[in-house]
A and B are shown apart, each in its own frame.
Chain A
């Protein structure tokens, strides 16, 4: 391969953690959605779980429409949690090493029973308040980063493309503003 110093420098600036962990992770996320779609015809999103699970405990009419899908959505979410735990027990713990994975330096690593776990430094109030906005917004906006961003964009849905462009733009402005106000992490 011919090494172009300018291209390499630019890559290092834009992608300080390389691109392989992102690309491999993205391909797996897509593959997970594909497995479900091929078997069931369902384009899976992660945010409907919030409303469908609320249908177990709330009789609000808004949630009842998700009763038929609530069971498999719980299973899908459990799968996501367990899949991430499997990642933590293997790659994150160093049991499996690959040059495709760049570990990163954010947050804090800790160990429980031989498994290397990770915890965020982002302040709880940001997570809580941000979570409330995410919970309201994703449900009014009909999708989240997986429903709109992966399945919607993947099926070239104009609604999803507009949805992604909207939340990406607002998220960038928000994150830049919060950072400019000196809130970190």
Chain B
């Protein structure tokens, strides 16, 4: 990413976030109960949130590289930035799954939940920061201990 950002970079990020958050509110995915009802097979509507969003973004991800070389506000190339697969995807995914299944909350929906007035969600946000901090300390130590540190994911 370039150091000198386009003046519209931050406004565009904010607008994207606004639409994203409004959608999470509208879909009620910002309500932990609704997520839990989905995971307990009582209401399958949430599938439409995930797949609806993935289809919309999928169209843009497929189209943009064919229409333009680079993004107007960053000059970054439109390309698939694929995350490498390793054991961590399974381990981390499983730990995330325990948390999602227990609380009905994931990061984006938690921020949106605060926006719809759910003050109790501060418990979940506090938990997320504690969890992210714990893994960060652990992985920083492990990276320092390794003689030849593997590249960060």
Contact = CB atoms under 8 A, between A and B. Distances in A.
Contacts of B12: 35-36, 39-40
Contacts of A25: 23-29, 49, 52
B53 A150 contact: yes
Contacts of A30: 23, 52-57
Nearest to A86: B22
Contact of A153 (B8, B54, B129): B54
A130 B105 contact: yes
A38 B65 CA distance: 10
A90 to B, nearest CB: 9
A61 B117 CA distance: 35
Interface residues of A, number: 131
A49 B29 CA distance: 19
B31 to A, nearest CB: 6
A178 B99 CA distance: 12
Given A83-B18, A104-B31, A155-B80, A21 B26 contact: yes
A22 to B, nearest CB: 4
Contacts of B132: 50-51, 54, 135-136, 138-139
B144 A61 contact: yes
Given A31-B56, A124-B120, A162-B85, A169 B97 contact: yes
A38 B144 CA distance: 38
A62 to B, nearest CB: 4
Interface residues of B, number: 123
Interface string A100-129: 010010110010100111111110111111
Given A87-B25, A128-B123, A166 B13 contact: no
Contacts of B134: 132, 135-136
A97 interface: no
A110 B153 CA distance: 43
B83 interface: yes
B12 to A, nearest CB: 4
A16 B76 CA distance: 44
Given A131-B124, A155-B80, A40 B73 contact: yes
B7 interface: no
A41 interface: yes
B17 A78 contact: yes
A83 B21 contact: yes
A154 to B, nearest CB: 4
B72 A137 contact: no
Contact of A135 (B8, B26, B34, B127): B127
B104 A122 contact: yes
Contacts of B130: 131-132, 135
Interface in B21-62: 21-34, 36-37, 39-61
Interface of B: 1, 8-10, 12-34, 36-37, 39-61, 64, 70-74, 76-85, 88-121, 123-137, 139-140, 143-144, 152-153
**For the complex of A and B, 3 pairs with smallest distance between CB atoms:** A79-B17, A131-B127, A25-B27
